[in-house]
A and B are shown apart, each in its own frame.
Chain A
């Protein structure tokens, strides 16, 4: 049996950069680590080389709880990309953490009708065979 390598049928996976590596290492260890600015105190996501509030270069990694609330979501009833067809309906969501940052994720283990804006959610660490861990969420 051959493995299909048609680009549209391979699920795209994250490939870390030197800047983002601590975030992905944190997920592998089942911790949510995000950046905080040592100058202005602002929280930053996604990982950057400079603060998105004040452009300071003094960003520090902090481990946070990772629980949050659903800011918004959509259940993709048509796959957004052919490789995701097996996950349809895929509940793609924006989660807001108490630190104020927003991140993109999917809500797993829930029917789309059970998901609401404002619902409390907790992290699910989805360890992949490629060594990368995706940060998914489930209803709390």
Chain B
């Protein structure tokens, strides 16, 4: 069952993170085109070879018929036109869908992209849309969130992740310094990444613990920084085509995906997460285990997200994550390189682009192009994507060719 490893990532593009946008504002469709062109250039593949595309739901100019709009704009005729709707897990979800299509022989070269930079002010203002107020929660009539969550203030993500953290700590012990260390260690890596929003701004465990409480027990420096500049793209092709590209290619050798709930109130076994099932599938398919990974790039919208993902992916036992974090250095210099670009906590989160930053970093490391933060051992990577509140979970195992 599963992938043979015959679909390879061969190029990427990544926009740097900025809290306040300083570049030239472009339409999201134009951003998509820029990222696609840059990633194809990186791979050394001509745009005319593209025969598949995977997108998210992040085009401001079109809310439906998005793949067709993109194909037309780029001038592509595609055999795979996929839109993924998995929140923060969208980019990881894109990767295995593209790999599956390539292995099925549907297409040869697939481009996937997510955008996250500022757009020009519209001269045609849209009527007020209250969806922007509720984030990942839907306030539309009949939505379970509108009726049973939002009226009680259970809105968006902070509170949901905080409720994961609260029960986790009450079951497995309180070590707030361990949780804070996730953020501090990743800042070390962000300080070796000039594209990171927190480049040049280290923080200590004490700094994290001294930051403002947002939703008990989570503090401000444990929560991602939303960015107004970002975006990323990946190019994937068949192993055969990959032999004629410019860089070491990166095979997708395992994946898993698991969803169980939208709102954590209805999670089957909180704080056990769907990461466990996704990871088990990914490792089994790859024929490798956690100990075989040279690096991990874990979705980290919050410190608790990374901590739960370390545990449930099998790098330590359930409830042992705090001790694990205490005993290991998670920075690029450390014995458990985790989120070597800084993670989203250090790199920044520009919409869906935050989740693709983990995949881009894995590819960059495996290709040996990570500069100052290049790992010595860089053949295998484990990557996760998290959507919603530990809701959508996707896991990938990547390996250099």
Chain A residues with CB under 8 Å of chain B are 7-8, 11-17, 20, 46, 71-81, 84, 87, 89-90, 92-94, 102-106, 112, 116-118, 134, 136
Contacts and interface: CB of A to CB of B under 8 A. Distances in A.
Given A16-B147, A77-B213, A104 B154 contact: yes
B147 A17 contact: yes
Nearest to A16: B147
Contact of A90 (B141, B147, B153): B153
Most B Cβ at <10 Å: residue of A14, A74, A93 = A74
Interface stretch (B35-43, B258-266, B360-368, B374-382): B258-266
B170 A20 contact: no
Contacts of A14: 146-148, 151
B216 A46 contact: no
B215 A75 contact: yes
Nearest to A91: B216
B166 interface: yes
Given A12-B146, A72-B166, A77-B213, A87 B133 contact: no
A20 B142 CA distance: 9
B147 A92 contact: no
Interface of B: 128, 130, 133-134, 139, 141-142, 144, 146-156, 158-159, 162-167, 170-171, 212-218, 263-266, 270
A102 B152 CA distance: 14
A45 to B, nearest CB: 8
A112 B217 CA distance: 11
B204 to A, nearest CB: 22
A91 B142 CA distance: 25
Contacts of B158: 74, 76, 78, 80
B163 A94 contact: yes
A106 B152 contact: yes
30 contacts: A7-B133, A12-B150, A15-B147, A17-B147, A46-B144, A72-B164, A72-B166, A74-B159, A74-B162, A74-B215, A74-B217, A75-B216, A76-B153, A76-B159, A76-B162, A76-B214, A80-B153, A80-B154, A81-B150, A81-B155, A81-B156, A89-B216, A92-B154, A94-B265, A104-B152, A112-B216, A116-B170, A117-B170, A117-B171, A118-B170
Contact of B216 (A77, A106, A116, A117): A77
A16 B141 CA distance: 8
A120 to B, nearest CB: 15
A76 B216 CA distance: 7
Contacts of A104: 148-149, 152, 154, 263, 265
